[in-house]
Structure 1
Amino acid sequence: MYLPLDGRGPLHGQLVRSLKDAVLGGRLPAGLRYPPSRLLAQQLDLSRNTVLAAYEQLRAEGFMQARVGSGSYVVMPGAPVQPRSEPPQRVPPQSAYARRLRRYHDHGAMPGRGVPGVLHSFQYGVPFTNPLLTSAWARALSHAAAYTPPNYPTAQGLPMLRAAVCEYLSLRRGVQARPEDVIVVTGTQQAVSLTARVLLDEGDEVAIEEPQYFAVREALQIHGARLVPVPVDREGLRTDLLPERPPRLICVTPSHQFPTGALMSLARRRALLDYACRHDCWIFEDDYDGEFRYDAQPHAALCGLDDSRRVIYTGTFSKVLFPSLRLGYIVAPPGLRDDFVSAKWVDDFGSPAIEQAALAHFLADGGFERHLRRTAKTLKQRRDALLGALRRSCGEALDIDDSNAGMHLLVWLRGRSAAQGDAFIALAQRRGLGLYSIAPYYFDPPDRAGLLLGYGALSVAEIEEAARLFAACLAEMDFPE
């Protein structure tokens, strides 16, 4: 406990004043237990008699209450005195990086946050949580905690996890990776941050999808990249619109484009790889929701077609397990591998070893594969329920971009402007339904009312009730023609 003594008068008096200041200033709140006298004497290098004398005076003045068999507790005599608070001081940004942080990122305005006070919310980005996963993961963590060495892990990641990731990618994503080329990271956000540091100087150009995931966009902008938006259609990135002056990096989500859900066609994938090879630029492949397709087998990742080693492939376990896990991976081209490992070391010395070991065992013993099968089945049921309910109740009023993948749908209010979409979102919130606009994911949003409807965290019954509320709001909305 930090208790400064002022050096004036007897030691017990100095201790009394210091403790009273801590109580009146709010550092020792009412109801908190005072330290035992012997312990406080040791901490402050005082005699125990000095502390006992101070405690006796605090009891006499009403700052302490003794409870038999429990100890002595802080009491606030009279009305509490509010601690003096200094007004926050806004200082100018202290670096170019800080200037870009303030320009591009606002914690209070991030899209996709939960809407408070609603009964149902179509919040996207919130994954399905399988109750069976909790106990399975607890067992894996318990085993890992008992057998994982307590020293620092390697910055690149535990070898057994990197090997397990390679086996999973070969089986599920068509990527033939070697453990020595895998770097374990905290997720996609760290992957894009490390990629920017390894490949980009301030002012370098990066081609990015339009629309795109805002967090990747902001990470690149804060790093100092100049972003070149390239439109997306139903076949993914428009490779025919890639810039004539080649960018240093191209960022894509080919297996399930966010937020449109588009699947990049094989012809576009080959054209993109050819472009990168001819122009000596790199591709950052975010394999977003590539595990969950409901119309056919998952498509092979772009990296699986890459013979020229231009693709930096990244995936995460946040959506398929749970976001709090904070584990993902990069498969780096061999020529960049050491740079990525060094950048990871500088960032945090390495991801948590116990969680890595638990995940490696979960992957190796088949638990992860069983979880994926159960999750895909449940998500398909929820997707089918949402599609069916929307088509039955308001099909004529909607255009639904069904991607047959992922955990959200993109829905357009037919013939309605962006402003009308905002008004509809506001009405729905007043009626207890959380809705989310697609507009924040564009550099130049279209004048259309587009909504992202996430269904991963809602049961079938909740989805049907939320869809009824959606239809009721749509019927209530008096759209001006």
Structure 2
Amino acid sequence: MHLQLDNHGPKHEQLARSLRQAIRSGQFQSGSKLPSTRMLSENLGLSRNTVLRAYEQLRIERLGVMREGSGTYVSDVPLPHGPVMQPRRVEAQSAYAARLRDLPPLTLGGAGPALRYDLQYGAPLVNTKLVSAWSSALATAAARTNTGYPHPQGLPELRESISRFLATWRGVAADPRDIVIVSGTQQALSLVSRILLDPGATAAMEDPYYELASHCLRAHGADVVGVRTDEDGLVVDELPSCARLVHVTPSHQFPSGRTMSLSRRQQLLRFAEEHSSWIFEDDYDGELSYSARPIPALRSLDTGDRVVYVGSFSKMMFPSLRLAYVVCPAGLRKDLVRAKMLEDMGCPAIEQAAMHLLFSRGSFDRHLRATVLELRRRRSALFAGLERHAAGRIQADDSRLGMHVIGWLPDFDTPRLDRLMESARQQGLGLHPIHPYYREPPPRLGLLLGFAGLFPRQIDAATKILGDCLQALP
């Protein structure tokens, strides 16, 4: 708190002017408590009577209100709105800043008005049992966790838990010493880019692609090359031989939903060996398999230690947790840990300890199994709703994995798709096109239909609106 007296007039008037200016400038916000008269008199070297008279002046001006036994509070006074000053134009101060400015706008998860139903990809699945288990684990972790800086690589007990989890659910034999805890897949890619890519190095990505991954690579100065995908996944024969890093989502290609075939996986691993390339495997929702035999991760086939495997708790828990993990090739471990240390000194230890408790108590395993069952119900509701309300007008791909499917729209052009989305929005339904994720325009247009954030009855209502909008289109 900084209050300056102007030495003009009686002390209480000087103090009242200073407080008045502090309130009107926002230093003291509406509803906030003003300092006690004793504290203010001691800090400013004034008598308490002087401070009391200044506070009384504020009350007369209706800038302050006294609450018996509590003190004086700032009234709900609207702040004056001065002219809006345009920010001064400043040129990019570094090559990195220039690259950031050159990035195109994101289309994933637009911040539009809230809608009654939104088939948005990535909406979290709310589970009250998980909330209760997490709250309990967090409270226990807060009481027991060492208050010092955590190791930048992550808590050893959490890395042990993740190692066991990956062996059971993803077929990955991961040495805990090669696991690094990070704050999300996006940070993982940023750190990996720093230790593998110099500006101008070639990074290959699937087409279609995940926008934030492309933005990250481009921001770090990589020459990003899109590579076509087909029914078997990434077309390895079309990879540039100079590719230093290959970013893939082999278990559930985002956003097309396709799964990379075994032969393509083996071909990609051979490519990495032959060209001394590295593979960044983003296994963003590989645990969510609706097949009897889950698809193992690409890393499980990697005998040459060329795959940087990344998994996240954003889909299984909630995005605000900001915890993920990297299984890195042993030769890159030291570099990655140092990069993480310089980035933020390590992820919060209390959240890491709480996550370990979920594993050790069996809560995470139970939650994951329940999540797969519930998502299967919602996915079935989506297919049933599309069949009931939009049969013949939309063709849904069945990837049998993840939290979204693709609904292709035969004979649609972009203006017609825009009309469909606007019509749906007016009826409270959010629809999201898939074509913005393609570097080369897709042969047909479609919708990315996320189903995790809605209950089955809501999904049925949403598909009913979709069917009505399709039927009404000329």
Q: TM-score band, normalised by the shorter chain?
A: over 0.9
Match of 1:5 in 2: 5
Structure 2 CA distance for aligned equivalents of residues 341 and 144 of structure 1: 24
Aligned residue runs from structure 1 range 218-233, under 5 A: 218-233=215-230
Deviation at 1:246, TM superposition (A): 2.4
CA distance in 2, matches of 1:69, 1:250: 66
Alignment partner of 1:124 is 2:125: no
Residues 47 and 183 of structure 1, relative CA distance in 2, 3 Å threshold: farther
Letter aligned with residue 351 of structure 1: C
Tell me the residue number matched to 2:19.
Answer: 19
The separation in 1 between residues aligned to 2:200 and 2:439, in whole angstroms, is: 18
The residue type equivalent to 2:5 in the other structure is L
Instruction: Determine the structure 1 residue equivalent to 2:340.
Output: 344
Counterpart selection for 2:429 from 429, 433, 443: 433
Where 2:392 maps in the other structure, the secondary structure is: helix
Give per-residue Cα distances to partners, 1:171-203, cap 9 Å, x unaligned.
Answer: 111111111111000110000000111100111
Alignment of 1:74-223 (within 5 A): 74-75=74-75, 81-82=80-81, 86-104=85-103, 106=105, 109-113=106-110, 115-223=112-220
Deviations 1:62-104 (A, max 9, x none): 5433343332233479x86445654322322211111111111
1:16 to 1:404, Cα distance in 2 relative to 1, 3 A: same
TM-score, normalised to structure 2, is: 0.95
Q: Please, which moves more after superposition, 279-288 or 424-433?
A: 424-433
Structure 1 unmatched runs, 5+ = none
Matched letter for residue 91 of structure 2: P
Closer, same or farther: CA 49–375 of 1 in aligned 2, 3 Å: same
User: Among 274, 279, 282, which residue is 2:275 paired with?
Assistant: 279
Cα distance in structure 1, aligned partners of 2:391 and 2:447: 15
Change over 3 Å in CA distance of 1:47–1:308 after alignment to 2: farther
What whole-Å deviation, never above 9, does each CA across 1:417-463 have from its counterpart, x for those lacking one?
A: 23322221111111221000112211222253210000001101001
Secondary structure at the aligned position of 1:396 is classed as coil
**RMSD over equivalenced CA pairs, Å:** 2.0
- The whole-number CA distance in structure 2 between the counterparts of 1:377 and 1:345 is 39
Q: Name the SS for the 1:444 alignment partner.
A: coil
**Structure 2 counterpart of 1:367, one-letter code:** S
In the superposition, relative to structure 1, how do residues 413 and 364 fare at CA in structure 2: closer, same or farther (>3 Å)?
same
**CA spacing shift, 1:5–1:342, aligned 2, 3 Å:** farther
Does the C-alpha gap of structure 1 residues 222 and 76 become closer, same or farther in structure 2, counting only changes over 3 Å?
Answer: closer
Aligned to 2:235: 238
* CA distance 1:295–1:92, shift in 2 (3 Å): same
- Helix, strand or coil for the counterpart of 1:191? helix
Please show how residues 331-410 of structure 1 align to structure 2 within 5 Å: 331-410=327-406
C-alpha contact 1:188 1:328 (8 A) present in aligned 2: yes
Q: Distance in 1 between matches of 2:198 and 2:254?
A: 26
Which residue identity is paired with 2:260?
M
Structure 1 residues 58-73: aligned runs within 5 Å: 58-73=58-73
- Cα contact 1:25–1:83 (8 A) shared by 2: no
Contact 2:202 2:244 in 1 (8 A): yes
What's 1:468 paired with? 464
Give the conservation status (yes or no) of the 8 Å contact 1:403–1:409: yes
3-state SS of the aligned residue for 1:91?
A: coil
Give the whole-Å Cα distance in 1 for the aligned partners of 2:30 and 2:312: 45
The number of equivalent residue pairs is: 474
Aligned to 1:423: 419
- 2:456 aligned with 1:457: no
Aligned residues of 2:155 and 2:349 also touching (Cα < 8 A)? yes
Alpha-carbon distance in 2 for matches of 1:146, 1:404: 42
- Native 8 Å contact 2:390 2:463 kept in 1: no
2:300 corresponds to 1:330: no
SS in 1 for 2:243: coil
Secondary structure of 1:285's match? strand
Find the aligned partners of 1:392 and 1:340 in 2 and give their Cα distance: 51
Q: 1:177–1:31: structure 2 CA closer, same or farther, 3 Å change rule?
A: closer
Post-superposition offset of 1:140:
0.8
Residue 51 of structure 1 deviates from its aligned partner by 2.4
CA deviations 1:349-401 (Å, max 9, x no partner) are 00010110010111122111111110000100110111122123222122222
Distance in 1, matches of 2:308 and 2:46, equals 61
One-letter amino acid matched to 2:110: R
User: Is 1:33 aligned to 2:29, yes or no?
Assistant: no
- 206 and 33 in structure 1: CA distance in 2 versus 1, 3 angstrom threshold: same
Asked if structure 2 preserves the Cα contact closer than 8 Å seen for 1:26 and 1:82, the reply is no
Q: Report if aligned partners of 1:239, 1:271 keep a CA contact under 8 Å in 2.
A: yes
Q: Aligned with 1:397: secondary structure? A: coil
Q: Bigger CA drift: 165-174 or 28-37?
A: 28-37
The one-letter amino acid paired with 1:424 is L
Provide the C-alpha distance between the structure 1 equivalents of 2:44 and 2:89, rounded to a whole number of angstroms. Answer: 37
Q: 1:114 to 1:389 in 2, by over 3 A?
A: farther
Measured in 2, the distance between the counterparts of 1:58 and 1:389 equals: 63
Alpha carbons 1:315, 1:329 under 8 Å: kept: yes
Secondary structure, counterpart of 1:329 in structure 2? strand
CA–CA distance in structure 2, aligned partners of residues 347 and 263 of structure 1: 33
Q: TM-score, normalised by structure 1?
A: 0.94
Are 2:204 and 2:225, in contact at CA under 8 Å, matched by a contact in 1? yes
Cα deviation, residue 3, structure 1: 2.1
Unaligned runs of 5+ in 2: none
What is the one-letter code of the residue matched to 1:241? E
Identity in percent: 47
Give the 3-state SS of the residue equivalent to 1:231 in structure 2.
strand
In structure 2, relative to structure 1, the CA distance for the partners of 1:308 and 1:416 (3 Å cut) is same
Letter in 2 for 1:429: R
CA distance in 2, matches of 1:189, 1:46: 54
Distance 1:76 1:271 in 2: 67
1:169, 1:141 → 2: CA distance?
Answer: 23
SS at 1:420 equivalent: helix
Secondary structure of the residue aligned to 2:110 is coil
Work out the CA distance in 2 between the residues paired with 1:66 and 1:373: 56
Distance across 2 between alignment mates of 1:292 and 1:219: 26
Deviation per CA, 1:38-69, whole angstroms, max 9, x where unpaired?
12234445553442343244345554333433
Matches of 1:390 and 1:56, distance apart in 2: 68
Distance 1:450 1:345 in 2: 42
| Conservation of the 8 A alpha-carbon contact between 1:419 and 1:449 | no
